[in-house]
Chains A and B, each alone.
Chain A
Amino acid sequence: MKLFIMTILNGLTLAALYFLVASGFTLVFGVMRNVNLAHGSLFLLGAYVGFDVAEATGSWVLGAAGGFVAIAILGLLLQVCIFRFMEGQDLRQTLVTIGISIILADVMLAVWGGVTYQFEIPDALYGVTRLPIIKVYTTYRLFILLIAVVIGLALWLFLDKTRVGMMIRAGVDDRDMLAATGVNVHRVFAIVFTIGAGLAGFAGVVGGSALSIAPGEDLRYLLASLVVVIVGGMGSVGGAALGALLIGLAEQFGLAYSPTYGVVYTFIIMVLTLAFRPQGLLGRRA
C-alpha cells in the first residue's frame, strides 16, 4: 500500500516535470508545425545557465528566472534569425533543429564539461514533508507538482482568455486563415517560440534540481517530450498534460513493480496510441 501510493506520487511528480518540458514543445509544434528537435538542448542549456546564475547570486529563484529568461531570448533569436527564413519547409526546419542541437551539445560539453551538476535547492524546499500513510515524501518533488499545476493553469488562462492566446489557438487550427484576417503571424510565432523555449529553460532548472544535470540529458528530455506529445496529441497543451501523466505513471509503476521491463511500458503506450489513435489522445487530425 505504501509502495503503491509512493509510486503514484512519484509518477505524478515525474509527469509534472515532463509536462513542463513538453508544453513548450507542443505549443511550438501546434502553431508553427515546427518539430523543434533542439528542444532538449534548450532544456539543458537552461539548466546550465540557471546553475551559473544560482552559483553567482546564491539564489535558486534567480537561477530559475535566469534559465527562463536566457533561453527565452535564445528562442526568440532562433525564430527571428533562422526559422523565419524557412517557413513552411517542415523538413528543412527539422534538419536545422537537429543541427542546432548537435552544435549546442558540443558547445555545452566544451563550456561546462562532462561533470554532473546538482543545484543547491532552497532550505525551505529541502528535506521531507509529513504525509498520511506513506509518512514522508520529498518536499521538492511536491513543489514540482505545484509548479506544473501553476504553469498549466497559467498557460490555459493565457491561451483561453487573452487576445494573443486566441490568435495562437486560431493559428493552431488554420494558420493561413489567421494570416488572412490581418494578424501579424510572425509576431505570434515569435511569441510562441519565446514562451516555448523559456519554458524549456525553466524546466531545466526545476528538473536539474530534482535529479541532476549532465551531458546527455538533452536527448533524454527530447525523447520524453516527443513521446509525451505523440501520446497526448501534437499541439494540444491538454494533451501534453495527459500524455505526461500517462508516461510518468507508466515509467514509475514499471520501475516499482517490474524493474526489468520498466522501459517497455512507455513505448507500449506509444505504439498503442499510434496504432489506434495516430493523432494522439487529444490531438486533432491534421
Chain B
Amino acid sequence: MKKALGVLIICAALAVSLCLPVTSQADGVIKIGAMATLEGPFAVLGQDGMRGVKLALQQWNYTVAGKKIKLYTMSTDATPDSATRAARKLVEQDKVDIVIGPLSGSEGIAVKDYAHTQPQVTFFNGISAAQDTTLRNPAPNFFRFTGDGVQFMAGVGEYVVQVKGYKKIVTVAEDYSFAYTNVMGFLLGYCKAGGKVVKRFWVPVGNKDYSTIVASIPDDIDAIFVALGGSDAVNFLSQYEQAGGDKPMVGGTVTIDQSVLSSKGRRKTYMIGTPSGSAMADNLDTPSWKKFVAEYKAAFPKGFPSPSVFAWGYYVSTVACLTALDKVNGDLSNNHKAFRETLSKIELQTPSGVVRLDENRQAIADMFITEVAERPDGVLYSKVVKVVPQVNQTLGMDRKEFLALGPVGRNNPPCN
C-alpha cells in the first residue's frame, strides 16, 4: 500500500511538472525570473541591476505581444551556489520561461552549467562577465548581450603604456573568475605594449582589511591596477589613501563605476584622471544614452547620479529579451525555437551602441576607454577618451589562437 502511494505521488508530481510550463504560456502570461546580488559585498550593485530590469519592463508596460509579464525576483550573494539555488527556485518552483541574471562572474558560470540541464528555459546573462560563461562549453540556451571582462578592457592596456606612460604596475583584484578575466583583458594589451607587472595581489571577495596588501605594495612602481567591486573597492581605496599611498591608479571596469564613484568619502581628488575601460561611459553623447539616463533618473530618484554598469547590463539584457519577444509575437512554443533564432540574429540598439551576438551567443559591442572626471557639482563620472568599435570576445584574434592563451587565472597572461 505504502509503495503504491509512493508511486502515485511520483506520477502526480511528474504529471504536474510536465503540464505546468504549457499552462503558464496558454493563459497568456510570460513568466520572467530575475536574479541579482541583493546581499553581501555586491548588494548595492545588485540593487542597481534590478533597477535595470524594472526600467525595461516599465518601458514595455509589463506586456509583450499582448501577453502579461509576471516578474519573479531572487537574491543571491555572489557565490556560485547561491546563484544555482536562485536559478533552480525560479525554474523549478516558479516555472519561469525566461531567467535574467546573474550579476557576478562565478555565478554566471554556475548558471550557464545549470542552463545545460534546463533546455526548456531561455537564460539571459545579467552583467556577469567571466570569460568561460560563453567562451568554453557554452550553453545553447544562454545568451549574453554584454561583454566579458576581457572585452571591457579592450585598448586600455595600450592606452596606459602609451599615453599615461605607466611601465611598471602591480595588480590588486578579487580572487575569482570575473576579476581574472578583467585583469587578463588589461594585461593582454598592456604587456604587448611593453608594460611589466611587478606583483599580483588576489584577495577574497568581501575582504575588509587591506592593510597588509597596502603594506606589501612595492615603492618602485608607476601605478596600481585595481579591479575590485562595490564595498571592496571603497575599502581598499580609503585604506590605501589613509596609509599615505600616492601611486596613481588604473581602474578595472567595476571599480570606475557609479557604484564606487558616488560613495561617500575623501577619495575624490585621488580618483580624478584614473583611466579605465567599460562597456559604457557616464558622459556618452548620444541621444539613446541620454534618454536612458533621463529615464533611469526619473524612475529611480533614489538611484545613483547616473546608472551604473550593472543597471546598464541588466537593462540591455532585458531589452534584448523583450525586443525578441515582440518580434516573434510572444511565441515560446517548441522549446523557444523561433525566439532563440531571432535572438541569435538580432541587431540590438542599446543605449551604448549596436550589439550583435557571435556563434557562442556572446555579445560583440562597442567598448569605451574612459577617465574619471568631476562635474561642477562635485559628482565624479567616467569620461570617454576613446571608443573601441565592435569588440568581440577574442579581441579580433583568431578563435583558436585566442583559446590557446589558456583559461583565465591568477597567472595568465604570464607577462614576462
Interface residues of A (CB under 8 A from B): 2-3, 6-7, 10, 13-14, 113-118, 120, 126-128, 134, 136-138, 140-141, 210-212, 214-217, 220, 251-252, 255-256, 259-260, 262-263
A255 & B212 in contact (Cβ 8 Å cutoff): yes
Residue B216 at the chain A interface, CB threshold 8 Å:
yes
A212 & B215 in contact (Cβ 8 Å cutoff): no
> Within the complex, which residue of A115, A126, A128, A260 is in contact with B44, where a contact is CB–CB below 8 Å?
A115
A136 & B244 in contact (Cβ 8 Å cutoff): yes
Bound together, the chains give a CA A35 to CA B129 distance in angstroms of: 42
**Chain A residues closer than 8 Å to B175, beta-carbon distance:** 259-260
Q: How far is the CB of A182 from chain B (nearest CB, A)?
A: 47
344-378 of chain B: CB within 8 A of chain A = none
192-226 of chain B: CB within 8 A of chain A = 201-204, 206, 208-209, 211-213, 215-216
**Chain B residues closer than 8 Å to A14, beta-carbon distance:** 209, 211
> Within the complex, which residue of B213, B230, B231, B242 is in contact with A127, where a contact is CB–CB below 8 Å?
B242
39-57 of chain B: CB within 8 A of chain A = 39-41, 43-44, 46-47
B238 & A118 in contact (Cβ 8 Å cutoff): yes
A214 & B231 in contact (Cβ 8 Å cutoff): yes
**Chain B residues closer than 8 Å to A3, beta-carbon distance:** 215-216
**Chain A residues closer than 8 Å to B40, beta-carbon distance:** 215-216
Given contacts A114-B39, A117-B264, A259-B203, 20 further A-B contacts (CB under 8 A): A2-B215, A7-B212, A13-B211, A14-B209, A14-B211, A116-B44, A116-B234, A126-B242, A128-B242, A128-B243, A128-B244, A134-B215, A137-B243, A212-B235, A214-B231, A215-B43, A216-B77, A216-B206, A251-B209, A255-B213
A256 & B44 in contact (Cβ 8 Å cutoff): no
A259 & B44 in contact (Cβ 8 Å cutoff): no
Residue B58 at the chain A interface, CB threshold 8 Å:
no
Among all A-B residue pairs, the 9 with the closest Cβ atoms: A114-B43, A116-B231, A6-B215, A211-B208, A10-B211, A256-B212, A255-B212, A128-B244, A214-B231
Closest to B235 in A: A212
Bound together, the chains give a CA A114 to CA B51 distance in angstroms of: 14
**Chain B residues closer than 8 Å to A6, beta-carbon distance:** 211-212, 215-216
Bound together, the chains give a CA A24 to CA B244 distance in angstroms of: 33
5 contacts between A and B (CB under 8 A): A215-B40, A217-B208, A252-B209, A255-B209, A260-B202
Bound together, the chains give a CA A20 to CA B238 distance in angstroms of: 23
B215 & A216 in contact (Cβ 8 Å cutoff): no
Residue B263 at the chain A interface, CB threshold 8 Å:
yes
Bound together, the chains give a CA A215 to CA B77 distance in angstroms of: 11
Closest to B202 in A: A259
Residue B38 at the chain A interface, CB threshold 8 Å:
yes
Bound together, the chains give a CA A190 to CA B326 distance in angstroms of: 65
Residue B265 at the chain A interface, CB threshold 8 Å:
yes
Given A115-B44, A116-B44, A128-B244: A138 in contact with B211 (beta carbons within 8 A)? yes
B209 & A118 in contact (Cβ 8 Å cutoff): no
Closest to B201 in A: A259
Given A118-B238, A128-B243, A212-B234: A256 in contact with B216 (beta carbons within 8 A)? yes
> Within the complex, which residue of B212, B244, B263 is in contact with A116, where a contact is CB–CB below 8 Å?
B263
Bound together, the chains give a CA A256 to CA B211 distance in angstroms of: 10
0/1 string, B22-40, CB within 8 A of A gives 1: 0000000000000000111
> Within the complex, which residue of B41, B46, B234 is in contact with A118, where a contact is CB–CB below 8 Å?
B234
B211 & A263 in contact (Cβ 8 Å cutoff): no
**Chain B residues closer than 8 Å to A118, beta-carbon distance:** 234, 238, 263-265
Bound together, the chains give a CA A82 to CA B4 distance in angstroms of: 49
Bound together, the chains give a CA A210 to CA B206 distance in angstroms of: 15
**Chain A residues closer than 8 Å to B47, beta-carbon distance:** 113-114
Bound together, the chains give a CA A134 to CA B219 distance in angstroms of: 13
Q: How far is the CB of A201 from chain B (nearest CB, A)?
A: 18
A115 & B243 in contact (Cβ 8 Å cutoff): no
**Chain B residues closer than 8 Å to A128, beta-carbon distance:** 242-244
Bound together, the chains give a CA A127 to CA B208 distance in angstroms of: 18
B209 & A10 in contact (Cβ 8 Å cutoff): yes
Given A138-B242, A212-B235, A260-B202: A114 in contact with B38 (beta carbons within 8 A)? yes
Q: How far is the CB of B238 from chain A (nearest CB, A)?
A: 6
Q: How far is the CB of B44 from chain A (nearest CB, A)?
A: 5
> Within the complex, which residue of B77, B212, B238, B242 is in contact with A252, where a contact is CB–CB below 8 Å?
B212
Give the interface centre of A13, A211, A260, A262 by most chain B CB atoms within 10 Å. A211
Bound together, the chains give a CA A13 to CA B266 distance in angstroms of: 23
**Chain B residues closer than 8 Å to A116, beta-carbon distance:** 44, 230-231, 234-235, 263
Given A114-B38, A114-B43, A114-B47: A127 in contact with B244 (beta carbons within 8 A)? yes
B263 & A141 in contact (Cβ 8 Å cutoff): no
A216 & B212 in contact (Cβ 8 Å cutoff): no
0/1 string, B221-254, CB within 8 A of A gives 1: 0000000001100110011001110000000000
> Within the complex, which residue of B38, B44, B212, B238 is in contact with A10, where a contact is CB–CB below 8 Å?
B212
Closest to B238 in A: A118
Q: How far is the CB of A9 from chain B (nearest CB, A)?
A: 8
**Chain A residues closer than 8 Å to B203, beta-carbon distance:** 255, 259
Bound together, the chains give a CA A113 to CA B47 distance in angstroms of: 10
Q: How far is the CB of B310 from chain A (nearest CB, A)?
A: 12
Closest to A2 in B: B215
**Chain A residues closer than 8 Å to B41, beta-carbon distance:** 214, 216
Bound together, the chains give a CA A210 to CA B235 distance in angstroms of: 9
**Chain B residues closer than 8 Å to A211, beta-carbon distance:** 208-209, 235, 239
**Chain A residues closer than 8 Å to B208, beta-carbon distance:** 211-212, 217, 220
A136 & B216 in contact (Cβ 8 Å cutoff): no
**Chain B residues closer than 8 Å to A117, beta-carbon distance:** 264
113-161 of chain B: CB within 8 A of chain A = none
**Chain A residues closer than 8 Å to B215, beta-carbon distance:** 2-3, 6-7, 10, 134, 256
Q: How far is the CB of B148 from chain A (nearest CB, A)?
A: 24
Give the interface centre of B201, B209, B212, B265 by most chain A CB atoms within 10 Å. B212
Q: How far is the CB of B184 from chain A (nearest CB, A)?
A: 18
Q: How far is the CB of B349 from chain A (nearest CB, A)?
A: 32
94-122 of chain B: CB within 8 A of chain A = none
